[in-house]
Amino acid sequence: MKRVVCPGSFDPITFGHLDIVERASKMFDEVVIAVLVNQTKSSLFTVAERIEMIQEVTVQFPNVKVDSWSGLLVDYCVEKEIPIIVKGLRAVTDFDYELQMSQINFQLKGIETLFMSTAPAHSFLSSSLVKEIASYQGDVSSYIPASLVSRLQERLAHVASTRLN
């Protein structure tokens, strides 16, 4: 059985992530979406909320599972016996960092990384941009699933109101 992991912060999951997950689910027996902590970013949703949202929008893919991990990605891979990481590359700007991560992950525990090119329609898309657009009441319905739009708007409104008080 060929299993791969799609890791990320998914804060929140976007159509760009979903495109990679869907394509990977056609190539491998099982795809595990792992919600990990990115120490360089602060998150809007808790890990439990992100898992719930991902489960909701991947329910149509029977071989896609959702999990979380708070340590090194390679330790997750070793513990779960998943030898391959799948990542989407949006543009050359992603490349340096992703190459470095893939090399260190291979050097640390022999875990391979496969890169898939993001669909051109999603090449500019990131969770951070989606949050920024939504925080100014912009329309994000082309970037994240409909069921997540109101959830995102509510959370941003809550954050804004607690900041004012």
Q: Is 46 in the site for ligand PNS (CB under 6 A)?
A: no
How would you classify the pairing of strands 112-117 and 30-36?
unpaired
The nearest distance, CB 102 to ligand PNS, in angstroms, is: 10
Which residues ranging from 52 to 81 are in contact with ligand PNS (CB under 6 A)? 72-73
Name the catalytic one among 9, 25, 127, 131: 127
The nearest distance, CB 161 to ligand PNS, in angstroms, is: 26
Q: Are 25 and 63 in contact (CB under 8 A)?
A: yes
The dihedral sign for the CA sequence 52, 57, 31, 90: negative
Binding-site residue total for ligand PNS (CB under 6 A)?
A: 10
- 90 catalytic per annotation: yes
> Exposed, middle or buried by CB within 10 Å (0-12, 13-18, 19+), for 79?
exposed
Among 5, 7, 44, 152, the residue binding ligand PNS under the rule CB under 6 A is: 7
> Exposed, middle or buried by CB within 10 Å (0-12, 13-18, 19+), for 136?
exposed
Rounded Cα distance between 33 and 135, Å, is 26
Which residues ranging from 84 to 143 are in contact with ligand PNS (CB under 6 A)? 101, 104
Residues that bind ligand PNS (CB under 6 A): 7-9, 36, 38, 41, 72-73, 101, 104
> Which residues are known catalytic residues?
17, 41, 90, 127
